[in-house]
């Protein structure tokens, strides 16, 4: 059948459908029209002759841009090894300087001990020589007496020297001749402290790379909390400050939040609490309640907050109204400076003693479900307890800028 016959047959079918629709009063669903994307695609196959030069020019420009971009990536890749080696060299030089300083100091300390040994040994040698001379003299006198006892009576009439029966007195100063062990013990104590501090600083250096610029949010502070001008210090007063009301402000609890919202990545900061007799430092969602004194507003007493708390000589870690008591002894005292580390995607929150880098508490799967994850932006959180408590009430965020 010819193409013309097909076309006439299609027109007759369309006319029949329209007549049937008009007679029955019902709508006949027609086939869907061709998709606009297909129309464009069909039109792209057969471009107009005048469009070809324009398309060709666009394609050449795109090819040139792509080639330039590829060269740029190749250049970056080539420079990657050079940059990496330069960084490694710089790191090695820094550690070599540290190692050389330690080696120099080690040599100086060992030389000092060796010098002390030599001086002590020289003094003891002189005393040994003196006593050996005395011993030799005694041996000589003993031999003389023994010879006299075996000789005739006439030889006994010969006089003996006055010091023939000499007795050498012990000098109490001899007991004092020894190495300066007390000085060495002090040195060992200093070296142990340096070693401990160095280990702590080496551990701290990685956290310092993720240090965040945390300041207090004045809108959230209780009316009795004063914020320093730079926004890094908090002080609890016995009187209300003259500040306007704000829905973000804690109205009953002596709390404050930081301005930094942690939504991703790793963050670290430190809080100096040595001027505060009782305190709480932690993290909280922005949805934490600000009104009243119920658990929903207290740090660590709900699902919205985590805290490290020191009160009445006890150090505890809190979340969702559950807590862990942390030991406080003479060897493991309460921290003067608290380090806070957050790894948001992993749901990890760690509190450190920032002076020794001892881990005080790590929140992950211990307090909540098997795989803990944060569900909202986190804010640094701080709390004072009653201003009637004896002692100071001051906290300060440490400046960790490098």
Predicted confidence at residue 171, as pLDDT, reads: 83
Which domains are seen in the chain, by residue range?
214-397 (2.60.120.920)
Predicted confidence at residue 63, as pLDDT, reads: 95
Residue 115 neighbours by CB distance under 10 Å: 10
Residue indicated by tokens 């040139």 = 64
Q: Which long-range contacts (CB under 8 A, 24 or more apart) does 367-375 make?
A: 367/306, 367/319, 367/320, 367/322, 368/303, 368/319, 368/320, 371/347, 372/347, 372/348, 373/347, 374/344, 374/347, 375/285
**288 touches 305 (CB < 8 A):** yes
**Neighbouring-strand partners of residue 179:** none
Predicted confidence at residue 157, as pLDDT, reads: 59
Tokens for 242, please give them.
Answer: 């003259």
**117 touches 179 (CB < 8 A):** yes
**249 touches 289 (CB < 8 A):** no
Predicted confidence at residue 339, as pLDDT, reads: 96
Residues of the chain with pLDDT under 50: 1-10, 13, 16-20, 22-24, 26-32, 34-35, 37-40, 42-43, 365-366, 370-371
Residue 285 neighbours by CB distance under 10 Å: 17
Predicted confidence at residue 164, as pLDDT, reads: 59
Predicted confidence at residue 175, as pLDDT, reads: 85
Report pTM: 0.68
Predicted confidence at residue 329, as pLDDT, reads: 78
Beta-carbon contacts of residue 312 (< 8 Å; ≥ 6 apart): 278
Predicted confidence at residue 391, as pLDDT, reads: 60
Tokens for 128, please give them.
Answer: 């040994």
Tell me the per-residue pLDDT of 274-300, one tens digit each, with 9 for 90 and over. 999 899 999 999 999 999 999 999 999
Nearest Cα to Cα of residue 101 among 198, 203, 180, 201:
198
Q: What are the start-end ranges of the E strands in 214-353? A: 225-227, 233-236, 255-257, 266-272, 279-285, 305-311, 314-319, 322-326, 337-343, 348-353
Cα(121)–Cα(170) distance, integer angstroms:
19
Nearest Cα to Cα of residue 257 among 210, 225, 302:
225
**368 touches 359 (CB < 8 A):** no
Tell me the per-residue pLDDT of 336-366, one tens digit each, with 9 for 90 and over. 999 999 999 999 999 999 999 999 999 974 4
Predicted confidence at residue 357, as pLDDT, reads: 92
Nearest Cα to Cα of residue 395 among 178, 181, 226, 163:
226
DSSP 157: G
């Amino acid at each position: 059948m010819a193409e013309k016959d097909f076309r006439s047959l299609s027109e007759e079918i369309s006319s029949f459908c329209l007549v049937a629709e008009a007679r029955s009063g019902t709508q006949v669903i027609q086939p869907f029209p061709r998709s606009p994307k297909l129309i464009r695609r069909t039109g792209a196959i057969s471009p107009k002759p005048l469009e070809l030069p324009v398309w060709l020019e666009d394609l050449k420009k795109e090819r040139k841009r792509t080639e330039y971009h590829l060269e740029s990536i190749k250049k970056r890749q080539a420079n990657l090894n050079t940059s990496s080696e330069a960084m490694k060299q710089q790191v090695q030089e820094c550690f070599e300087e540290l190692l050389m300083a330690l080696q120099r100091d080690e040599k100086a300390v060992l030389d000092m001990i060796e010098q002390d040994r030599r001086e002590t040994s020289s003094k003891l040698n002189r005393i040994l020589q003196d006593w050996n001379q005395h011993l030799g003299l005694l041996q000589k006198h003993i031999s003389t007496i023994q010879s006299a006892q075996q000789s005739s009576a006439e030889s006994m009439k010969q006089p003996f020297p006055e010091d023939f029966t000499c007795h050498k007195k012990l000098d109490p100063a001899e007991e004092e001749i020894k190495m300066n062990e007390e000085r060495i013990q002090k040195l060992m104590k200093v070296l142990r402290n340096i070693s401990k501090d160095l280990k702590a600083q080496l551990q701290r250096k990685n956290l310092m790379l993720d240090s965040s610029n945390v300041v207090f949010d004045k809108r959230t502070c209780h009316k009795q909390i004063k914020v320093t001008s730079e926004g890094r210090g908090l002080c609890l007063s016995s009187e209300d400050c003259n500040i306007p009301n704000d829905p973000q402000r804690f109205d009953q609890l002596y709390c404050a939040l930081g301005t930094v919202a942690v939504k991703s990545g790793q963050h670290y900061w430190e809080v100096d609490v040595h001027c505060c007799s009782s305190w709480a430092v932690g993290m909280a969602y922005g949805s934490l309640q600000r009104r009243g004194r119920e658990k929903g507003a207290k740090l660590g007493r709900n699902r919205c907050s985590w805290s490290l708390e020191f009160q009445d000589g006890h150090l505890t870690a809190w979340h969702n109204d559950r807590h862990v008591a942390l030991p406080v002894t003479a060897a493991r005292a309460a921290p003067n400076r608290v380090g806070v580390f957050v790894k948001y995607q992993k749901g990890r929150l760690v509190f450190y003693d920032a002076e020794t880098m001892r881990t005080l508490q790590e929140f992950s799967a211990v307090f909540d479900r098997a795989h803990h994850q944060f569900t909202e932006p986190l804010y640094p959180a701080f709390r004072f307890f009653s201003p009637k408590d004896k002692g100071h009430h001051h906290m300060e965020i440490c400046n960790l800028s490098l």
